[in-house]
A and B are shown apart, each in its own frame.
Chain A
Amino acid sequence: SAVISQKPSRDICQRGTSLTIQCQVDSQVTMMFWYRQQPGQSLTLIATANQGSEATYESGFVIDKFPISRPNLTFSTLTVSNMSPEDSSIYLCSVLKGTDTQYFGPGTRLTVL
């Protein structure tokens, strides 16, 4: 398995501002992912964070809105830019261990006013 931490655990932000979420894992991993979970919904993949290169975004998500950094094999950040109330969600990072199993962080609960 993997021990994953996220900061902050929750935040309340004003519209138009940006928030950067950090994800730290206790061992080196090749693949890290960022998901969004809107209230009462399932998880939607935002992007795959690639070490040393630009993130790979899913349909409907763009780099200008969700810039991602991955400076090394244990750390990644997701920024939610120019926030609106529709961005209120739980944001989760995950890591791939072995060939097929993802482990998730505790999530960041974001409320945008």
Chain B
Amino acid sequence: GNSVTQMEGPVTLSEEAFLTINCTYTATGYPSLFWYVQYPGEGLQLLLKATKADDKGSNKGFEATYRKETTSFHLEKGSVQVSDSAVYFCALSAKAAGNKLTFGGGTRVLVKP
């Protein structure tokens, strides 16, 4: 079946540092890939998505590129802010699986001033 593996946290950074969160997946066919963010006490927000190989999703300074050859979708941000402190979830969706989302375990990021 489909699965998503992302690096465990917590990840602690200083403000303006570079952030990378690794995400790899296993899926049959050609899934769509997503990053969601959950701020403290809130629900999930869609951060970015990519639907085919070599697509780059971007939003709020975050980027991730759909790499089919390495089955990866790593999240990056060049200069984090305290307000980026949250839990980040990598996920995939496949039509063959009824458009259900398969989530990674989540990575908690803490940015210190």
Interface residues of A (CB under 8 A from B): 1, 31, 33, 41-43, 45, 48, 92, 94, 96, 99-107
B36, B43, B95: the one within 8 Å of A99 (CB): B95
Residue B42 is within 8 A (CB to CB) of chain A in the complex:
yes
Interface residues of B (CB under 8 A from A): 32, 34, 36, 42-46, 49, 51, 89, 93, 95, 98-101, 103-106
Verify B34–A101 contact, CB threshold 8 A: yes
A41, A43, A106: the one within 8 Å of B42 (CB): A106
Among residues of B, the one whose C-beta sits closest to the C-beta of A92 is B43
Q: Which of A31, A42, A92, A99 has the most CB of B within 10 A?
A: A42
Known: A100-B32, A101-B49. A31 touches B99 (CB 8 A): yes
Q: How far is the CB of B104 from chain A (nearest CB, A)?
A: 7
Q: Which of A41, A92, A96, A101 has the most CB of B within 10 A?
A: A101
Residues from chain B with a CB closer than 8 A to the CB of A43 are 44, 89, 101, 103
Verify A107–B43 contact, CB threshold 8 A: yes
Taking A42-B106, A101-B46 as known contacts, 16 extra A-B pairs with beta carbons closer than 8 A to each other, sorted by chain A number, are: A31-B99, A43-B89, A45-B100, A92-B43, A94-B44, A99-B95, A100-B49, A100-B93, A100-B95, A100-B99, A101-B32, A101-B49, A102-B99, A102-B101, A104-B36, A105-B43
